[in-house]
Chain A
Amino acid sequence: MMKIFSPFGAAGLAVAGLLASGSAQAVDSSFSNIRHGKELVDAGDCVSCHTQQDGGKKFAGGRAVETPFGTIYSPNITPDPETGIGGWSDAQFYQAMHHGIRPDGKRLYPAFPYPYFTKLTRDDVSAIRAYLNTVPAVKSPPRAANLTWPLNHRVFMRGWNMLFFTPGTFKPDPNKSAEWNRGAYLVEGAGHCGACHTPKNFLGADKTSQALAGGAIQDWFAPKISGDLHDGTGAWSVDDIVAYLKTGRNKFSGATGLMAEVVANSTSKLSDADLHAIATYVKTMKPEKNPPPAPPQARMDDPKMKAGAAVFADSCSACHGGDGKGTPGLFPPLAGNANVQQHDPATVIRVILDGARTVATDAKPTTSAMPAYNWKLKDDEIAAVASYVRNAWGNHAPPVDPGQVKAMRENLREDHASGS
């Protein structure tokens, strides 16, 4: 039996024929190509960043994207010729997606995940354009970014790109299965999972040697999702990962915050085959070595841990269980939970202060929520209970300091005041 190898799925093969003919191509506006473009736009979650929260027009831009260097506002990518990208040629659109360069030659900031989108094939970028041509044109002028030096100078991006950005279409690994390659293409390309889940260097570029090892982003910590048993998805099966991405929850955890948006706008809309491919790929991203089980990093007779145990018993155990095992699918277990054990405690502190709600999806429309404790627990009490959940029931992670809680409290107050 002959095996046809295509990392890009059937649709990719179908349009390949159209493109072989010549260089000056018109966008293929057939229904199947537009539908293929829609799937890629879902996979790329373009709508989350390019739509203002609370009822903004789809793809009309204006959403504030926070970066460690300041705020960037997403531009309008509807076909409006003046304020959107209606006037761009297909080649100009490809240049933006593949090289991060606008038609006027200016460099785009990587808050637009073109370091990932560069992996997309020419055909797939054309399909995205074909779909974007069909969305309603909206007049909505761009807003200037508000960045700190040196990133406020776009010309600086030329140096940044030289250092950290290599444009290049995804190259399949012929030694791996078609499914694995499809997964790699989606994760490293359109899905831009590493934009949140890969740690960044001091200039905001991916530390590529630590792909998907967990990254701090907008007062969340996107956890390690490579296959580490302690703080990654090592204990998850491929089906567990698929269930999480499709329905927003599984027996280990639920998606909330930034990941809730990714699930709602992107992964819950992908086909089962694509989700399976993503999970297959993520599962094979083994840590260099799976460390042996380690002792907790705070002892149970430590005053902070004792206080944390008391707060937990009185305030948290009803949902998460005195044994930390939770009620899977409803209240996530904290024992063995990767989010709880990341070296950076941002998500744990944030969720205790502000509460959390699991995303609602078509598959699981009923959500469960955790209340906010910001009004009730003091900084030292939150530090205590956070340290406790990070080191009870076999968990181990650095204990939390009240100063970290205070800083997060202030950040969240600012975030809520600015409506992001």
Chain B
Amino acid sequence: MSAPNFNRREMLTAGVLVGSAAALDATDRAQARSISGDVPWQEGQANKPDIAKPGTYLFLTAAEAACLDAALSRLIPKDELGPGAKEAGVTFFLDRQLAGPYGEASHWYMQGPWKKGEPTQGYQSRMTPAELYRAAIKAIDAHSGDKYSGKTFSQLTAAQQDEILKGLEKGDIDLKTVDAKSFFTMFLQNTMEGFFSDPLYGGNRDMVGWKLIGFPGARYDYRPYVKKHGQKLALEPVGITGRPAWKPA
């Protein structure tokens, strides 16, 4: 076990690189900045989130989408409690994330030194999330083909799929080109994000994730409810861009 020996100099360079990368794409995304004098405000301007535009997949191929549909249906399956990750549009959410800044790891430090990190240090691969997904899906389909006479992952039975997913989670399966465990960790995390994040990012369709757990959504003001101790409020969830009740019938 070797302690990471990042020295101060490297840290400083890293800071500069991150700083200049941020400056280059500061146009639309929220960035930390210092403010003096009046709080900046401009008529008609808003610090708005990137709303996922509907349409065909931007990053995933049809085959990749089929593999993800199948895999995330096992992580959050459709059942008697309601729709699952696939029905909630999580594949679409992942597509938009992988096609955007997250897929490019544009806000991460992605230079050397390349040391094997500790588990507590999180994701340590040289691959961007987009590269990781692309390589992992290919390797998973190859692995199921080897094992189940040429079938892709999406063509397997639920039990066979679960077995592969467990193998990835434990790191028992060697995907050769990518680290199975790193991929599984990221994929599980992203699936939960897609299922529970605001619908404007493309997942959590009809706020099914929020309805499942009783989360009331992006509400601004809870003052009317503070005194209602122990009462069931049954608030309809609301997304950043609204809820059905906003539409005049």
The answer to whether A322 and B247 have CB atoms under 8 Å apart is no
Contact (Cβ within 8 A) B248 A355: no
In the complex, chain A residues whose CB is within 8 Å of the CB of B221: 313, 317-318, 322
What is the number of residues of chain A that contact chain B, defined by CB distance less than 8 Å? 34
Nearest residue, chain B, Cβ from A413: B44
Min CB gap A301→B, angstroms: 11
Task: Kindly identify which residue among B39, B44, B247 contacts A369, using a CB–CB cutoff of 8 Å.
Answer: B39
With A307-B247, A311-B246: A322-B238 Cβ-Cβ less than 8 Å: no
CB neighbours (8 Å) of A353 from chain B are: 44
Asked if A18 is at the interface of the complex by the 8 Å CB criterion, the answer is no
- Interface residue? A306 (CB, 8 A): yes
Instruction: Indicate whether A354 sits within 8 Å of B44 (C-beta atoms), given known contacts A314-B219, A318-B220.
Output: yes
Is the CB–CB distance between B220 and A307 below 8 Å? no
B245 and A307 within 8 A (CB)? yes
B248 in complex: contacting residue of A303, A318, A360, CB < 8 Å: A303
Instruction: Provide the bound-state CA to CA distance between A61 and B243, in Å.
Output: 49
Bound-state CA distance A311–B45 (Å) is 20
Alpha-carbon distance between A383 and B240 when the two chains are bound, in angstroms:
18
> Which B residues touch A367, using CB under 8 A?
38-39, 41
- B242 at interface by CB-CB < 8 Å: yes
A304 interfacial contact with B, CB 8 Å: yes
Does B246 lie within 8 Å of A375, measured CB to CB? no
Q: Are B46 and A307 in contact (CB under 8 A)?
A: no
Please determine whether B44 and A371 come into contact, CB atoms closer than 8 angstroms.
Answer: no
Q: Flag if B220 contacts A317 (CB, 8 Å).
A: yes
Question: What is the distance, in angstroms, from B201's C-beta to the closest C-beta of chain A?
Answer: 14
Chain B contributes a number of interface residues (CB within 8 A of A) equal to 23
Q: Is B80 an interface residue (CB 8 A)?
A: no
Which of A313, A318, A354 meets B43, CB within 8 Å?
A: A354
Q: Does A80 contact B (CB under 8 A)?
A: no
Chain B residues near A357: list those with CB within 8 A: 41
Q: Write the A374-409 contact mask toward B (1 if CB under 8 angstroms, else 0).
A: 111100110110000000000000000000000000
Distance from A371 Cβ to chain B, minimum over Cβ atoms (Å): 6
Q: Which residues of B contact A360 (CB under 8 A)?
A: 38
Q: Which residues of B contact A317 (CB under 8 A)?
A: 220-221, 224
**Contact A307 to B43, CB < 8 A, known contacts A314-B242, A376-B240:** no
Q: Is the CB of A412 within 8 A of B243?
A: no
Nearest residue (CB) in B for A370 is B41
For the complex, give the distance between the alpha carbons of A412 and B45 in Å: 12
A381 B44 Cβ-Cβ under 8 A: no
Taking a contact as CB atoms under 8 Å apart, the answer to whether B247 and A416 are in contact is no
A310 within 8 A of B: yes
User: Among residues 14 to 66 in chain B, which have CB atoms less than 8 Å away from a CB atom of chain A?
Assistant: 38-39, 41, 43-46, 48
**Which chain B residues lie closer than 8 Å to A89 at the CB level?**
none
A318 surroundings in chain B (CB, below 8 A):
220-221, 223
Does B39 contact A412, Cβ atoms closer than 8 Å?
no
Is there an interface contact between B48 and A376, defined as CB atoms closer than 8 Å? Answer: yes
A306 and B245 within 8 A (CB): yes
Q: A306 to B220, alpha carbons, bound, how many Å?
A: 19
Q: Chain A residues with Cβ under 8 A from B238's Cβ?
A: 314
Nearest-neighbor residue (CB-CB) of A320 within chain B: B221
Min distance, Cβ B13 to any Cβ of chain A, angstroms = 37
**A375-B46 contact, Cβ under 8 Å, with A322-B224, A369-B39, A369-B41:** yes
Q: Mark A216-254, 1 if CB is under 8 A from B, else 0.
A: 000000000000000000000000000000000000000
Knowing A372-B44, A416-B43 are in contact, say whether A314-B38 is a contact too (CB < 8 A). no
User: How far apart are the CA atoms of A35 and B245 in the complex, in Å?
Assistant: 59
CA distance A385 to B246 in the complex (A): 9
Q: Give bound CA distance, A372 to B238, whole Å.
A: 19
- Inter-subunit contact B41/A384 (CB<8 Å): no
Q: Which of B45, B242, B248 contacts A372 (CB 8 A)?
A: B45
A66 to chain B, nearest CB (A): 15
Of all A-B residue pairs in the complex, the 4 with the closest CB atoms, nearest first, are A318-B221, A310-B245, A318-B220, A307-B248
- Which residues from chain A sit less than 8 Å from chain B, CB to CB? 303-304, 306-308, 310-311, 313-315, 317-318, 322, 353-357, 360, 367, 369, 371-377, 380-381, 383-384, 412, 416
* Between-chain CB contacts (< 8 Å), 17 pairs: A307-B246, A307-B248, A308-B248, A310-B245, A311-B246, A314-B242, A318-B220, A318-B221, A318-B223, A322-B221, A322-B224, A355-B46, A367-B39, A372-B43, A372-B46, A384-B246, A412-B44
New A-B pairs, 15, CB < 8 Å, besides A311-B246, A377-B242, A381-B247: A314-B220, A317-B220, A318-B220, A318-B221, A318-B223, A355-B41, A355-B45, A369-B39, A369-B41, A371-B46, A372-B44, A375-B46, A376-B240, A412-B44, A416-B43
